[in-house]
Amino acid sequence: MCQTCGCTITPGNAGMRGDNIAGHSVVIDVLQDLLAANNQVAVHNREHFDEHGVLVINLMSSPGAGKTALLEATIVALRDRYRIAVIEGDLETDNDAARIRAHGVPAIQITTGTACHLDAHLVHRALHDLSLTGLDLLFIENVGNLVCPASFDLGQHRNVTLLSVTEGDDKPAKYPVIFRASDLVVLSKADLLDVLEDFDPARAAAALRALGRDTPMIHTAARRMPAIGPWLDWLEQEMAAWRPVARSPRSMMASVGA
């Protein structure tokens, strides 16, 4: 596609050149969200999740912050009590979905090719390959990216963003959109704080607080001796709040509207 010589003008579209058409101009006020199409599909996804009583969490971070590792540790801790599934998003490979499946949990891999984020349409397609019946918890592990995923509603109920201690502690200030959109910020690889002089959790917390939402921040260490207690507590609180009617984790619930 050439932008400089006008070779995009073809016999088919030449008639669209303004100076060839006589007529009058009409101004139309629109006021429509540019992402309205995505949002419609996201609403549809959310209805689908609600019908099945599944809590859906959109997990975001920069590449390498430890999303998949945290999911692996979470599954090992919770799989005997809760039915969990994962939708993975990456540009290429199904490495992450394979890691999840190795723990006995269904995982669908979306490979986006070049798209730097997941959108509601991609998630909708993935749901064709995943049964939500009986599921308690669905994680959507977004593409590693602190910029774009924040703008695209997928139909999730909660946004969780990881910030690893090997990144800068001013990241919430540098990436306000995604951190402000988060319901929880997880400080991952926290076991490395002892050996890292530069990362000050208090500074990260202050930058997060400056985004006006009083978002909680939890420390996790998912490798070696996993220390993810507060994260598991948060998950269980959210699941309990999500389904106020008490039921055993494995009970088959008939589809009930909200």
Partner 1 sequence: MRTHRPHRLYVGAHTRTRPRLTIHSVHELSVCQALLAQVAEIAAGRGAIVVERITIELGPLCGVEPALLASAFAIVRAGGCAAEAALVIESTTVTIGCMACGAQSQTEPNRLICAVCGGFRTRVVAGDEMRLRRVELRMPESRSPVA
Interactions with partner 1, residue window 82-141 (CB under 8 A): 114-117
Asked if 1 touches partner 1 (CB under 8 A), the answer is yes
151 near partner 1, judged by CB under 8 A? yes
Contacts of 196 (CB under 8 A, 6+ apart): 165, 166
Alpha-carbon gap, residue 220 to 246, rounded angstroms: 28
Nearer to partner 1, 11 or 257 (CB): 11
Long-range contacts, stretch 11-20, CB < 8 angstroms, 24+ apart: none
CB of 62 to partner 1, least distance (A): 15
Contacts of 67 (CB under 8 A, 6+ apart): 59, 60, 61, 141, 144, 162
Hey, is 61 helix, strand or coil?
A: coil
Q: How far is the CB of 196 from partner 1 (least distance, A)?
A: 23
Task: Decide: is 240 part of the binding site for partner 1 (CB under 8 A).
Answer: no
Rounded Cα distance between 221 and 212, Å, is 27
Among 76, 77, 130, 173, binds partner 1 (CB under 8 A): 173
CB of 123 to partner 1, least distance (A): 15
Alpha-helical runs (H) found in 145-196: 171-174, 176-180
* Residue 202 lies near partner 1 (rule: CB under 8 A): no
Using the 8-state DSSP alphabet, how is residue 169 labeled? T
Q: Is 26 in the site for partner 1 (CB under 8 A)?
A: yes
Interface with partner 1 includes 144 (CB under 8 A)? Answer: no
Q: Which residues bind partner 1 (CB under 8 A)?
A: 1, 3-4, 8, 10, 13, 15-18, 21-38, 114-117, 147-148, 150-151, 172-174, 176-177, 180, 207, 209-214
